[in-house]
Each structure stands twice: as structure tokens, then as C-alpha cells.
Structure 1
Amino acid sequence: MRVRAAITAATLLTALTTSTTLTAGPALAVAGGSDVAPGQYGFTAKLAMTGIPRPDGSTYASFCSGALVAPGWIITTGHCFHDANRARVSGPVPYPTTVTLGLVDEAKEKGVTRKVTQVLQAGPNDVALAQLDSPVTEVTPLTVNKLVPGAGQRLTLAGWGSLTATNPTPSTKLQQGEVQISSVSATTATVHGVSPAASTSACAYDSGAPYFVPSGSGGQLISVETNGPDCPHTSPETTSRVDVLADWIAEHAK
């Protein structure tokens, strides 16, 4: 198991020498998943980041996934925002980050675009809130679960990550899959693929992707993607629970 951002970026760095090359950062799209139908899951966000620093002073570009939890706030994985040494950072956004929501196919839709202005890192687990430069009113946010999730519970995963760990690239179509909670610990929950296949799993650039229970035009957020093995796989994937952060999220994401 690995933090997708750190290992994937380091691997590609050995083969790529230009300072602005797109580097696979945070986790992979849903491998072994399926296309999301038009008009669904508009709360799922694609985060595009540029100018991410490396220790040698060069920079690269990368992507994450996330979800709208309030008109002006996105939830994602904390390690999507870091310094040159990959330490998670809070405060003004550390590098230019654009968020796109409200679409399922980039070739056919424009969606809604905003820029991130500041980042708040959660303490208990690898989660961050990203504030947008203006509220998104066209998309229904996810509600945040406040109850302890249970083993066996089935969730939907939606993300913009790669479809494979081989030469990964972000998906241009929003992908989905069904997973089941395998185990629950103090601040995390592991999941495994159920549908369309047992190997349905998060992939590169899925870091921060929401695991949720759909309901109407929205749904209830249970956890966000954190890390896991190369996709596709049938092993446990680690996600960060949001119920342990519900009060913190409500305090800031207004």
C-alpha cells in the first residue's frame, strides 16, 4: 500500500527531466468502473494543479479528485496540498489550483470552474477543505455523514482518476464503481471493489474522490480516497472517514 501522490511522482521523475512535466500525483480514476450518466454526481470535483514544487526547485503539474460539501468548499485528500518536501500545508493555496464540477464528459460539457484560495488541513486524518473563490450554486453539495460507518456497507465511488496504473493520465469522463466497507478503524475505513468487478478500485488522480451513498441529485459523503495498491486490484483501499470530522467541516464549510 502506498500514498499515490508521493510514489507515483517519484517514479515518473526518474524518466522525466523537464521542470513543468505533468506528473502523476495524488491517487488513480476509477479502474474497472463505468461511465457516470449525464447529470449525475455533479458534486464530484476535478482539481488541476500547476507549479507544484520539488526539492530541486523544479515544478510539475498534477490532479486530484474531490467533492463539493458546501457552495464555497471542496473536500479532498490532505496530501493533495503540500510543500516541496511533501509535508501537508494549510493557509493560502500553495500552488494554482482550478476546480471543475457539474459535468461527466469534458468533451461535451464545460461544467462549473472555480479557483482554490485557501486550504484547511484536518488533524485526525488525511483530509483537507479547499475554499473556492466564489460559491457554486448550480450543483447540489454532498451532505456529510455523522454516524460511524459499518463493515459491509456499500458505497459509490466517483472520480476523475486514471483507468490504469500503467502510464496513468486523468480521465476525461467521470467514472464510478461500487465498493463495500471491509473494516473500520478510528479515523479510516478500508473498502474493496464490488461492481462492476471485484477489482473495481481507485486509481491515480483519484486522491480525495468521494465514497458516498447516492440520494436524488446529491447524497451522503462517508469517506474520501486516501491511498492503496496499484490499480486495478482486489486488495483493501484506505479511505478517510468524514464522520470524525463532521463538526470541523460544519464549522468551516459554511
Structure 2
Amino acid sequence: MRVRAILSAALLTLGAALATAAPASAVANGSDVPQGRFEFAAKLTMTNIPRPDGTRYDSGCSGALVAPQWILTAGHCFHDVDRNPISGPVPYPTSVLLGTTVQRGKLGVTRQVTDVVQAGAGDIALAKLDKPVRGITPLKVSRATPTVGQKLTLAGWGALSSVDAAPSMKLQQGTVAVGEVAATTLGVHGVAPAADTSACLYDSGAPYFVASGRGGRIVAVESEGPDCPHDQLETTSRVDVIADWVLSQTH
């Protein structure tokens, strides 16, 4: 199993270079998200992350706006030099892009992460932004227990494939179904556009949600899974079990 945010500075540089070429895809075997939809979907870009040997690298995650100044994402996106998830001041520079489905020019809204709080249940963290985001409807946090067979939308900025993976320059979406419900996790599998529609590297923290109007209800966030694309179960973290905690942190 692979966590969805682990690659090197060289690959992030490749992703930046793609800004001048055709936009890269995200969510393996997904489809384009039209501009103006899912504005709450966040692209997180981390730089200068330390390794135990003293070297540094860049990486990325996905996430979702759940309050004007808060992003819900994967807990493992923020860690110490030994990759242990941590809370407190952001451990390395992290920018957040919202309000656009294409990373280009001055499109969207950019914020900086200042602080991180780990949920303590599941692979989930809240990232606090330096300034509130106005004009974008946050996702509501679902309190309902997910059910096997439930259909969810995944929206992320991850790679198309585990081969030569790089952060995406375009938001993609896919439909998945819940295949397994555990105490703090869900196992989900692809439904559309294909049975092997799946999260990929750099999709860590991407929201699985039920869309409604300009917002919706977030049910889970991306954690880890096999090399993508794949038709096996992907591990996600349930948000209903931490709904009260999210509310206490963001209000």
C-alpha cells in the first residue's frame, strides 16, 4: 500500500514544468472537473521537507475547505523528519490553491498554511490558513454512518498513474462506491468513468463527498492504496467519527 504524498523534489519540478504544456490529469482514469465546480477542492504544495539524512524534497496533497480558514486533509501530509504526523506550527512551507480547476496564472485563491491539528482518529488533519477564504462554499462534514454501496465523488489534484507521477495542473473527478466500512476507515472502489478509477500519488487528503449545489457533504478523505490505476479497495478515513472534533476546531 502507498500513502498518496511521498515523492521527490525532482518530480514536483516536473509538475511545475507542465504548467506550460498540456494540463496533466489527476485521479487515475477520472474525468475533467468543469471550471466553477468543486471550488472547495484544495491543492496543497509542500516545499523544503526534511529527510533524516539532511536532504530536503518537495511534495503535495489534496484537501477540502470545511470552514473559511480550515482545510481538511490527510494527517500524514504533515509530519516530522521521521514521518510521524505532527500538530502545531506548519512543519514546512505549504501553500493552498482553491477556487479553480486549472492551476494557471492568477486563477483561483492562494493561501498559506500556518498551523496543523491532527485528529487523533484516522489519517486526518486540519490545516489552518493565514486568512479566511470568502466566496467559496465549504463542504459540510457528514455525521451519517457510511453504508456499503453508497456512491461518492472523489475530486483530487493527484497523478494519472504511479509511473512517472507528478502533481496535476488540473482537478479531476471520479465516482466510487463504498465496499467496506470499518471503525475509522472506508474501503472504496472505482465505478465511473471506469472500474479502475482511483486515487493516485498526491491525492492524499482528497475529499470523498456527496455533491449538492456549490457544496456538499464530505464523507471521507483519501489515505492510501495500491499503485494506480487499480480496481481494488482504496483506504479512506471516515469523517463522521470526528465531526464534533472538526466543529470544535473550526468554530
> Normalization by structure 2: what TM-score?
0.92
Q: Residue in 1 aligned with 2:3?
A: 3
Question: How far off its partner does 1:253 sit?
Answer: 1.2
Superposed CA deviations along residues 104-151 of structure 1, whole A, max 9, x for unmatched, are: 112366200000000000111110000000100121000000011000
CA distance in 1, matches of 2:96, 2:206: 13
| 2:120 partner SS | coil
Q: How does 1:1-254 map to 2 (within 5 A)?
A: 1-5=1-5, 8-9=6-7, 21-22=10-11, 29-107=26-104, 110-254=107-251
Flag as ranges the 4+ runs of structure 1 deviating above 4 A: none
Indicate if the aligned counterparts of 1:190 and 1:237 stay in contact, CA closer than 8 A: yes
The answer (yes or no) to whether the contact 2:70–2:126 under 8 Å persists in 1 is yes
1:17 counterpart residue number? none
Paired residue type of 1:54: R
The residue that corresponds to 1:16 in the other structure is none
**Quick check: 2:186–2:235 contact (8 Å CA) kept in 1?**
yes
2:137 and 2:167 map into 1 onto residues whose CA distance is 24
Distance in 2, matches of 1:122 and 1:44, equals 20
Give the aligned residue type for 1:188. Answer: T
3-state SS, counterpart of residue 243 of structure 2 = helix
Q: For residue 4 of structure 1, report the CA deviation from its aligned partner.
A: 3.4
Task: State the alpha-carbon separation in 1 of the partners of residues 26 and 172 from structure 2.
Answer: 7
Does the 8 Å contact 1:103/1:109 carry over to 2? no
Structure 1 CA distance for aligned equivalents of residues 104 and 130 of structure 2: 25
Counterpart Cα distance in 2 of 1:64 and 1:207: 5
Runs of 5+ consecutive residues of structure 2 not aligned to the other structure: 14-24
Using the alignment, how far apart are the partners of 1:30 and 1:198 within structure 2?
Answer: 13
Query: Normalized against structure 1, the TM-score is what?
Result: 0.91
Q: How many Å apart are 1:58 and its aligned residue?
A: 1.1
- Once the two structures are aligned, what percentage of the paired residues are identical? 60
Instruction: Provide the rounded CA distance (Å) in 1 between the counterparts of 2:132 and 2:4.
Output: 30
1:209 Cα offset (Å): 0.1
Q: Is the 8 A contact 2:11 2:165 kept in 1?
A: no
Q: Alpha-carbon deviation of 1:171?
A: 1.1
What residue identity is the alignment partner of 1:241? Answer: R
**Is the CA contact (8 Å cut-off) linking 1:22 and 1:60 kept in structure 2?**
no
Q: Is the 8 A contact 1:29 1:204 kept in 2?
A: no
Per-residue deviation, residues 204-252 of structure 1 (Å, max 9, x unmatched): 1000000000000001000000000000000000000000000000000
Q: Once the two structures are superposed, what CA deviation does each residue of 1:66-112 show, in whole Å capped at 9, x if it has no partner? A: 00000000000000000110000100000000000000112366200
Q: Distance in 2 between matches of 1:171 and 1:4?
A: 13
Aligned equivalents of 1:194 and 1:22: distance in 2?
A: 29
Q: Do the aligned partners of residues 103 and 227 (structure 1) sit closer, same or farther apart at CA in structure 2, a change above 3 Å counting?
A: same
Q: Which runs of 5+ in 1 are unaligned?
A: 13-19
Amino acid at match of 1:3: V
Task: Name the CA shift for 1:137/1:22 in 2 (closer, same or farther; >3 Å).
Answer: same
Q: Is the alpha carbon distance of 1:228 and 1:21 closer, same or farther for their aligned partners in structure 2, counting shifts above 3 Å?
A: same
CA distance in 1: counterparts of 2:63 and 2:140, whole angstroms:
14
Secondary structure in structure 1 of the residue aligned to 2:2: coil
In the comparison of the two structures, how many residue pairs are matched? 240
